[in-house]
């Protein structure tokens, strides 16, 4: 069977028995393109599209239709003021449409659909990341604080205005002095029993609330995080509902602020600062789900430990991280769709033929630049669907234990850093792969990059999040993470308490088994075995965590300062281990998704793509595998050689694989993603053909000189 690939016709080997030998002898035999053997592989784009859209495909499709409406889309080059005004307008259109209200209680007109809400919300990044994030501020942060930190009275009182956008609001958590370290914020909320009010106060400049969406212009209320002080005791950070502006848009007495002005991106959002001078709010405005103050000022909480209470409150806000993971992955997919379509048309330099130039995507380096990132984007997409499923289970209450919430937070903290960094890396590589055309604002990359830049540090700085993950891995090191045979992802998502018990098959054994690979199983073909990839990736996480645990052991016997120094000496290693854990989760999600594909040949192509992802991760960490004796030198060399083979094998499917993301022209909106380049080439080709036929074509001086040389030779 012949598959017509975009750009050139190819036959692909379904199972090439010579692969193993070929890769093993990579220094003797050179792969010069797809091997033509009988039995080629057809990729069913529809099957892949369904897999990529995942569990909430209907909602995503509806939200994409919304994002395809011109009035929802960004106008590039608008001034900051115009952009802000447009996004606010679009927010009202979102309310009209109703989709953004899915998360809210049914009694207030919502759908009580936490997972579906996030799925739909993420797709708004296709219209304008500013719209996505400003919606996130209004309904995902400001609204969610009321929903999750307040009780029914707050929901009934405040949510209708928030949902309808009658009350745009700011989520006032971060301060100038404290971003990631929320527990140390300086704003105080001191209870005054004599008037039954809280006094919200900003005691110094560093405690100004900072970077708040809706604060500079639109917000008329805010959910303010402050140290709750009553009866002389500081009960730690709590959240308060505080009106900030009057009906004329003027700050209420005691409240002041500044506009953050121009940012690196997301300029459709009016970020700003707020400060409070002894601002009094009713006692009732404490969002009191996890802690309350009675009329007399006595404090009560359902959670005895102040530390656990703090993390429980913050945990309700995990959806920000979840949605950034999804939106960033969508942006990567969009960028790759544009760059791969262009790379499949654009030609430059004619090395191989006398007439036509080479298509960019036929160059090895171009394949190496784009296809591993495509594989990674697939991995992120599948991992995100799993994360969102977990989120939905927790927030629907179907699986909402403390362990579930902790698992959800760890998953989000592991995946959000990887996907947001990946989006920047991918958008930049796409932009460069499209040359000067990639730098034109109209081709999307630079604009998306600028907007997504801040995703890597907001809703949890990526490096801080990865440290949280690593700490969790360290904590769990001696218990549940010993159980290596069911997969790391499964432990978060489907495992029950009973499954989490200690199992004899500990990681030491696994480590030893893997340590033998170099000598016992030399065939490079193994690299494409699912089990081998799984073990290599799993072993790395566990070994790294084990090593760090070993290094940190003396800490318990030392002073606080010495323990901190010791921990600091392992910081880089901790972050690296957490990253390895995230990569493993993604690989497992990719593998699980591929295994669910029914269509055999589609599954084959996606398995190649999964292999490309797995081997790219292993290649990135090759030094570790070599130093730790997990891969022999010979096997390590085969990794890169096999990646080169895989990208060439996947190249004919590249356009189909990005088409499977399912974006329409209204989402791409990039001139270079259309057929323009091909048309221009056809025109040029026709011009030269006509010139040749006319007999008027000038002779090339080089040809002339060659002819003269030949003539001279003959005359001698």
Q: Which of residues 617-676 bind a second copy (CB under 8 A)?
A: 622-623, 626-627, 629, 633, 636-637, 644
Characterize 303-317 residue by residue with b for buried, 16 or more Cβ atoms within 10 angstroms of its Cβ, and e for exposed. eeeeeebbbbbbbbb
Verify binding: residue 350, a second copy, rule CB under 8 A.
yes
Q: Which stretch binds a second copy (CB under 8 A): 11-19, 30-38, 385-393, 581-589?
A: 30-38
Sign of CA dihedral 655, 659, 665, 670: negative
Concatenated DSSP letters of 360-401: GGGSHHHHHHHHHHHHHHHHHHHHHHHHHHHHHHHHTTTT--
Q: How far is the CB of 276 from a second copy (least distance, A)?
A: 15
User: Which residue, 76 or 529, has its beta carbon nearer to a second copy?
Assistant: 76
Closest to a second copy by CB, 494 vs 566, is: 566
Note whether 273 binds a second copy by CB under 8 A: no
Query: Does 512 engage in binding with a second copy (CB under 8 A)?
Result: no
Contacts with a second copy, 279-318, as mask; x by CB under 8 A: --------------------x------xx-----------
Place of tokens 């899915």: 102
Binding of residue 355 to a second copy (CB under 8 A)? no
Q: What is the DSSP letter of 441?
A: G
- For position 112 contacting a second copy by CB under 8 A, the verdict is no
> Between residues 372 and 525, which has the closer beta carbon with respect to a second copy?
372
Cβ burial 372-384 (10 Å sphere, 16+ → b, else e) = bbbbbbbbbbbbb
**Which of 202/330 has CB closer to a second copy?**
202
Among 353, 355, 598, 714, binds a second copy (CB under 8 A): 353
Distance CA 282, CA 334 (A): 47
Smallest separation (angstroms) from a second copy to the CB of 466: 9
Closest to 497 measured CA to CA, from 386, 403, 392: 403
Q: Provide, rounded to whole angstroms, the least separation between the CB of residue 547 and a second copy.
A: 8
Q: Looking at 357, 403, 476, 546, which residue binds a second copy (CB under 8 A)?
A: 357
Structure letter (DSSP) for residue 589: H
Contact 477, 549 (CB under 8 A): yes
Q: Which of 548, 533, 631, 549 is nearest to 583 (CA)?
A: 533
Size of the site for a second copy (CB under 8 A): 115
Q: Applying CB under 8 A, which of residues 562, 595, 664, 708 lies at the interface with a second copy? A: 562
Shorter beta-carbon distance to a second copy: residue 3 or 566: 566
Q: Phi, psi at residue 102, to the nearest 5°?
A: -55, -30
167-186 core/surface letters (b: 16 or more CB in 10 A; e: else): bbbbbbbbbbebbeebeebb
Based on CB atoms, which residue is closest to a second copy, 505 or 572?
572
Q: How far is the CB of 476 from a second copy (least distance, A)?
A: 21
Minimum Å gap between C-beta 495 and a second copy is 31
Q: Is 395 in the site for a second copy (CB under 8 A)?
A: no
Give the C-alpha separation, 56 to 636, whole Å. 40
Q: Which is nearer to a second copy, 63 or 344 (CB)?
A: 344
Q: Give the span between the Cα atoms of 246 and 354, in whole angstroms.
A: 73
Interface pick for a second copy out of 61, 164, 348, 523 (rule CB under 8 A): 348
Tell me how far, at minimum, the Cβ of 296 lies from a second copy, in Å.
17
Report the site for a second copy in 168-187 (rule: CB under 8 A): 174, 176-181, 184, 186
Distances 226 to 242, 275, 358 between C-alpha atoms, Å: 11, 12, 61
Cβ(658)–Cβ(52) under 8 Å?
no
Contacting a second copy (CB under 8 A), which of 431, 581, 630, 667?
Answer: 431
Q: How far apart are CA 269 and CA 451, in angstroms?
A: 11
CA angle 32, 34, 39 (to 5 degrees): 150
> Which of the stretches 13-21, 88-96, 335-343, 449-457 binds a second copy when contact is defined by CB under 8 A?
449-457
Residue whose CB is less far from a second copy, 29 or 401: 29
Structure tokens that stand for 556 in this block = 């318990």
| Phi-psi map region of 182: left, alpha, beta (phi>0 left; psi -120 to 50 alpha) | alpha
Residue 31 interacts with a second copy (CB under 8 A): yes or no: yes
| From candidates 50, 157, 280, 368, binder to a second copy by CB under 8 A | 368
Asked if 549 and 531 touch (Cβ cutoff 8 Å), the reply is: no
- Round to whole Å and give the CA distance between 511 and 506: 9
For a second copy, the closer CB: 33 or 39: 33
Q: Is 206 in the site for a second copy (CB under 8 A)?
A: yes
Closest separation in Å from C-beta 541 to a second copy: 18
Structure tokens at 666: 């209204």
Determine the interface stretch with a second copy among 152-160, 313-321, 519-527, 681-689 (rule: CB under 8 A): 681-689
Task: Tell me: does residue 363 bind a second copy (CB under 8 A).
Answer: yes
- Residue 109 touches a second copy, criterion: CB under 8 A: no
- Chain positions 118 to 137 lying near a second copy, rule: CB under 8 A, are none
Q: Least Å distance between CB 190 and a second copy?
A: 8
Under rule CB under 8 A, residue 693 binds a second copy = no
Instruction: Select the residue interacting with a second copy from 36, 705, 707, 709 (CB under 8 A).
Output: 705
Strand partners, 188: 201, 227
């Amino acid at each position: 069977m012949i598959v017509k690939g975009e750009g050139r016709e190819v036959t692909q080997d379904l199972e090439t028995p010579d692969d193993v030998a070929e890769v093993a002898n990579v220094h003797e035999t050179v792969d010069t393109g797809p091997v033509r053997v009988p039995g080629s592989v057809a990729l069913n784009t529809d099957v892949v599209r369904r897999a990529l859209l995942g569990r909430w495909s209907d909602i995503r499709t509806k939200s994409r239709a919304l994002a395809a409406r011109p009035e929802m889309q960004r106008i590039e080059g608008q001034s900051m003021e115009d952009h802000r005004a447009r996004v606010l307008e679009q927010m009202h259109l979102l309310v009209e449409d109703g989709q953004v209200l899915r998360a809210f209680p049914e009694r207030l007109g919502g759908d009580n659909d936490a997972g579906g809400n996030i799925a739909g919300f993420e797709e708004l990044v296709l219209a304008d990341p500013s719209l996505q994030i400003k919606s996130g501020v209004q309904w995902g942060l400001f609204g969610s604080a009321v929903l999750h930190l307040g009780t029914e009275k707050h929901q009934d009182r405040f949510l209708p205005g928030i949902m309808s956008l009658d009350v745009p609001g700011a989520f006032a958590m971060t301060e100038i002095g404290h971003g990631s370290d929320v527990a140390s914020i300086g704003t105080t909320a001191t209870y005054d029993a004599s008037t039954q009010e809280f006094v919200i106060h900003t005691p110094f400049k560093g405690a100004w609330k900072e970077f708040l969406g809706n604060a500079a212009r639109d917000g008329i209320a805010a959910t303010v995080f402050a140290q709750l002080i009553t009866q002389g005791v500081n009960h730690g950070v709590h959240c308060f509902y505080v009106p900030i502006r009057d009906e004329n848009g003027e700050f209420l007495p005691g409240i002041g602020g500044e506009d953050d002005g121009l940012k690196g991106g997301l300029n459709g959002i009016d970020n700003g600062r707020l400060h409070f001078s002894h601002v009094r709010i009713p006692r009732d405005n404490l969002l009191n789900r996890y802690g309350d103050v009675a009329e007399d000022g006595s404090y009560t909480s359902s959670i005895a430990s102040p530390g656990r209470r703090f993390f429980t409150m913050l945990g309700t806000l995990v959806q920000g991280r979840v949605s950034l993971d999804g939106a960033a992955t969508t942006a990567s997919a969009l960028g790759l769709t544009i760059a791969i379509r262009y790379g499949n048309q654009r030609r430059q330099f004619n090395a191989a033929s006398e007439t036509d130039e080479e298509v960019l995507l036929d160059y090895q380096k171009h394949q190496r630049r784009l296809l591993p990132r495509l594989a990674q984007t697939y991995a992120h997409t599948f991992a995100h669907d799993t994360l969102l499923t977990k989120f939905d289970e927790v927030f629907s209450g179907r699986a909402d234990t403390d362990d579930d919430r902790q698992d959800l937070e760890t998953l989000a903290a592991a995946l959000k850093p990887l996907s947001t960094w990946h989006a920047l890396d991918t958008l930049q590589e796409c932009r460069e792969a499209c040359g000067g055309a990639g730098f034109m604002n109209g081709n999307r990359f630079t604009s998306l990059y600028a907007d997504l830049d801040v995703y890597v540090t907001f809703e949890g700085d990526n490096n801080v999040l990865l440290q949280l993950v690593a700490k969790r891995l360290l904590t769990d090191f001696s218990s549940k993470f010993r159980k290596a045979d069911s997969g790391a992802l499964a432990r978060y998502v489907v495992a029950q308490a009973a499954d989490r018990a200690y199992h004899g098959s500990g990681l030491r054994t696994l480590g030893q088994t893997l340590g033998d690979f170099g000598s016992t199983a030399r065939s490079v073909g193994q690299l494409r075995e699912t089990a081998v990839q799984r073990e290599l990736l799993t072993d790395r996480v566990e070994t790294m965590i084990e090593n760090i645990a070993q290094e940190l052991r003396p800490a318990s016997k030392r002073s606080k300062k010495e323990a901190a120094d010791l921990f600091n000496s392992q910081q880089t290693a901790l972050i690296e281990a957490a990253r390895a854990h995230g990569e493993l989760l993604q690989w497992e999600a990719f593998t699980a998704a591929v295994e669910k594909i029914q269509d055999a040949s589609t599954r084959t192509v996606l398995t190649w793509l999964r292999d490309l992802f797995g081997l790219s991760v292993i290649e990135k960490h090759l030094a570790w595998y070599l130093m730790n004796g997990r891969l022999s030198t010979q096997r390590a060399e085969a990794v890169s050689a096999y990646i080169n083979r895989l990208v060439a094998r996947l190249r004919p499917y590249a356009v189909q694989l990005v088409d499977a993301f399912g974006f329409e022209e209204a989402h791409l909106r990039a001139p270079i993603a259309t057929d323009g380049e091909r048309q221009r080439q056809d025109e040029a080709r026709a011009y030269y053909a006509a010139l040749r036929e006319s007999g008027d074509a000038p002779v090339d001086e080089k040809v002339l000189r060659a002819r003269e040389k030949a003539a001279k030779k003959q005359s001698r």
